[in-house]
Structure 1
Amino acid sequence: MTRDCVIASGALQRISLILEKASPNTSFLRNASWALSNLCRGRPQPDYARVKDAVPTLIKVLIENENPDIITDICWALSYLSDGAKENIHVMLNDDLVRKLIALMNHQNVAIAIPCLRTIGNIVTGGDDQTQKCVDFGLVGALSSLLSHPKKSVRKEGCWVLSNVTAGTEAQIQDCLDKGIVEKLVEILEHDDLTVKNEAIWALCNCTASASPAQYHQLVNKGILRALGKTLGQKDARMLAVALEGLENVLECGEKNFKNTDGENQ
């Protein structure tokens, strides 16, 4: 592949050096950012050992620049580099980077918001500690506003990111409950486009895998049973399977923890 030949020639290191030394927000920096982004993309992915050293430079350029074209190219490069093995995610766990990406998720330019969501989404596919770092920097609150975004592509990506948060710890699920995420996911499942619903169903049902009994009670009060029941009318087999699993989890928790005086599941 031509891309790999270019990387093997040492071009990536030279472009990174240009990015390090170029003045912020210049057309020269814009061209270098675009070139580096293209070297990081594609299938199969480039050899990570050859491209990972570009990450510190990408972080520096992202933080120092305000030009939307430069930011877009850098964010896409980071999304490509964070997609894959745990090692890919680990090098992204820079406090300044995570904070910046979460802030940019709400950028009015969707071309910037989407790659930021992808990168954060890749990070939270890691362990609970990696997810918690993002949560500590306000991820859940930032995602809450995006679930009402006018662009369905942004709502879809936001639901995908949330599906990895709600699959986490009880504390992470509680953060979603406290910030109104569940109500918005319920609304999406009842009224949104099917492509958004396909991600929202995972985000909502993942809550039912690790929630505490008290959290199950909150989920029911916030309308999860109504939303999952309505999903059973869909023809998509995957959505049906996920909804049924979520319903099963809720009913099993009710059987164990919320029987009435007659021994029936409340």
Structure 2
Amino acid sequence: MATDVARPLTEPSGAAAETAAAPRPAPRIARDKAILAVEGLIKRYEIGEPVLNGVGFAFGAGEAVSLIGANGSGKSTLLHCCTRLIEPSGGRIRLLGDEVTPLPPRRLRRLRARVGLVFQKHNLVGRLSVLTNVLHGAQARQSGPGSWCQAFATKTAREEALHCLEQVGLADLAARRADRLSGGQSQRVAIARALMQRPELLMADEPVASLDPKAGQEVMALFAELARARGLTLFFTTHHLEHALDFSERVLALKGGRLALDATASGLRADDLQSLYV
């Protein structure tokens, strides 16, 4: 469940103590009402301390939530545990109304089909067209050749894929091979592919880490705006503190395998978060 974080991340002294404001704890939400609820999450590998050690939080429909922390803090591990792309070692995860850990493979696949995943590596098929890559997003909810290649897709499916490309500003590149795209264009196609899933939740693991600052800012702004326009819940990891503050309503932070912060973004500044990286 969401944890109380009512103290500053660093202890101010002197005049700073009079003006520094504590992060505002995020509102609590009941576990059975949450889109994603994580309770006592543990992930342990064979050697060393747990990567995640008792992490808990919950958020509701329509929220935009960012997850920050230093390299090795467990951000990607946490995100992947939520859909069991990585198996948790302990704890409970409730996603879109389902208890994730006990789900058998078929039901787990159906659950994952309701989650649009965007990763740092765009995972496009380079020799195929942009339109075909977007159509692949439909594989999460349907089978058959219609979702493999644009030549076999129905008119309705092609129109939907083109609409997704229009939303990311790349409809004019539908026929281009994916390996001829820039990094920013490739990530926009990956976002369009995720939208093609018709997801209820968008999850992104450092979606702009491989892009230059200008392209990263543009893609992150587009990603957040599309989530808002579709009424989707957004959960993303990032190293960019400005992105966390600008494009989410709530900021979670990991440090030492534990949740060090769960606060509303509006009450934070980038300087307030530097201690997470010490």
> Shorter-chain TM-score category?
under 0.3
More strand by share: 2
TM-score of the superposition, structure 2-length normalised? 0.25
- Give 1 or 2 for the bigger CA radius of gyration: 1
TM-score of the superposition, structure 1-length normalised? 0.26
Q: Tell me which of the two structures has the higher relative contact order, counting C-alpha pairs closer than 8 angstroms and 6 or more residues apart.
A: 2
